[in-house]
Amino acid sequence: MKLICSKSNLLSGVQIVSKAVPNKTTMSILECILIDATGRNIKLIANDMELGIETIIEGDIVEKGQIALDAKIFLDIVRKLPDNQVVLETDKSFKTNIVCEKAKFTIIGKSGEDFSYLPSIEKIDHIIISQFTLKEVVRQTIFSISDNDNNKLMTGELFDINGDTLKVVSLDGHRISIRKIGLKNSYPSKKVVVPGKTLNEISKILSGDADKDVSIFFTGKHIVFEFDKTTVVSRLIEGEYFRIDQMLSSDYETKVTIHKREFLECIDRATLLVKEGDKKPIIINITDGVLELKINSTIGSMNEEIDITKQGKDLMIGFNPKFMIDALRVIDDELIDVYLVNPKAPCFIKDATENYIYLILPVNFTTVN
């Protein structure tokens, strides 16, 4: 095989597919990137059996062929090459020369025949959204998946398509994040659970460009994302997702309208007094026009008052500050509405049209002072 391409094209391609290379594996072929120049295009492929990424890079195929190269070493080498044309040439013993200007690297690759290609997926059902929207919706929900494998479904996100709406849901037993996205077209109903890891990796690859689209295809077992010259194939998590509708109630006893940034900075300050691993709650006391936030720990104490607009009853309630911070960080509104019932019932942060809903369970607290 002999290829010529620019360093920058090669680098961006290798960076993209490297996202599907596992950090640790016993199968050394999975640590490789396949460079496939057997057809018309130069394809780079990586595949950890759950998640596979393929991308096409521009360049000239002087001699057809394929080679599997250790992803980490190959990425390191390409990254440090001079910014010029790169010639990549292999021989029958898989010796690979990488030449750029006067620099010449030689590494030993593996036969491409041992490599497991991406599963071929029948592309029928699909939706189209912008790269920006997909990247945003993942950022706005991914924090509330569970990293505990005990309940596999909690490690993924529900993608629920219904007519012209895509609803993305994540939950970890303490909180639920829901985002609704309007689609340009109407699609048949479909519910799939996408692994959190896949969404995290795809977020890193997406340009976040609002003018560029992603096509998302679904099959029974896989989801495929196509954008730019890249295809990402991931297994789905099997099983029926949690019924969240019954957890969402629109009844409330107290409604608070508060400046998001003030509230966030105030909670952020309070967490200074919480040592890592310590599960100290913040205590929020809601009265007419004022929300008072209190925390007491072995380090010291803090209290602060924030002006609010309140409807309904006074209330004192405790929260894990991290859960509040996570939700507040991904809300763009300047003023937000918080709906509460009592110190034992979940609180809701949502906008009027329910384009976002963040449900957070309160924690018990013992009143001190």
Residue 111 vs 301, nearer CB to a second copy: 301
Binders in 288-327 for a second copy, by CB under 8 A? 299-306
Segment near a second copy (CB under 8 A), from 5-13, 49-57, 73-81, 120-128? Answer: 73-81
89: contact with a second copy by CB under 8 A: no
Asked whether the beta carbons of 166 and 124 are under 8 A apart, the reply is: no
Total number of residues binding a second copy (CB under 8 A)?
27
In the complex, the smallest distance separating the C-beta of residue 32 from a second copy, rounded to whole angstroms, is 14
Nearer to a second copy, 68 or 202 (CB): 68
What are the residues facing 318 on neighbouring strands?
Answer: 283, 363
Taking the complex as a whole, how short is the minimal distance between the CB of residue 1 and a second copy, in angstroms?
Answer: 17
Q: Does an H or E element contain 75, and which?
A: helix 71-80
Please, which residue, 98 or 206, has the CB nearer to a second copy? 98
Q: Are 178 and 167 in contact (CB under 8 A)?
A: yes
Cα distance between residue 54 and residue 102, in whole Å = 30
Closest by CA to 348, choosing from 362, 366, 363, 332, is 362
Q: Nearer to a second copy by C-beta: 200 or 271? A: 271
354: left (phi > 0), else alpha (psi -120 to 50), else beta? left
The minimum distance between CB 282 and a second copy, in angstroms, equals 13
Residue closer to a second copy by CB (options 81, 193) is 81
Q: How far apart are CA 286 and CA 267, in angstroms?
A: 15
Per-residue binding letters, 228-267, with a second copy (x by CB under 8 A): -------------------------------------xx-
Three-state DSSP at 292 gives strand
Select from 38, 64, 80, 207 the one that contacts a second copy (CB under 8 A).
80
Closer Cβ to a second copy, 46 or 266, answer by number: 266
Cα–Cα distance for residue pair 189/201, rounded to 1 Å: 26
Contact predicate 162/188, CB 8 Å: no
In the complex, the smallest distance separating the C-beta of residue 303 from a second copy, rounded to whole angstroms, is: 6
Residue 87 binds a second copy (CB under 8 A): no
From the CB of 313, what's the least distance to a second copy, in Å? Answer: 23
Q: Kindly compute the dihedral angle of the four CA atoms of residues 307, 313, 319, 322, in this order, to the nearest 10 degrees.
A: -40
Smallest distance, Å, CB 326 to a second copy? 17
Tell me the backbone φ, ψ of residue 30, rounded to 5 degrees. -70, -20
- Contact (CB, 8 A) for 66 and 38: yes
Span from 45-53, 84-92, 103-111, 160-168 in contact with a second copy (CB under 8 A): 103-111
65: helix, coil or strand? Answer: strand
CB of 273 to a second copy, least distance (A): 8
Q: Show the CA angle centred on residue 320, arms to residues 314 and 325, nearest 5°.
A: 95
Q: How far apart are CA 202 and CA 225, in angstroms?
A: 9
User: Tokens 């991931």 sit at which residue?
Assistant: 234
Minimum distance between the CB of residue 76 and a second copy, rounded to whole angstroms? 5
Kindly state whether residue 210 participates in binding a second copy, applying the rule CB under 8 A. Answer: no
Q: Which residue type occupies 175?
A: R
Q: Closest approach of Cβ 17 to a second copy, in Å?
A: 19
Q: Based on CB atoms, which residue is closest to a second copy, 104 or 329?
A: 104
Choose which of 152, 174, 269, 313 interacts with a second copy (CB under 8 A).
269
List contacts with a second copy (CB under 8 A). 73, 76-77, 80-82, 102-108, 265-266, 268-269, 272-273, 299-306
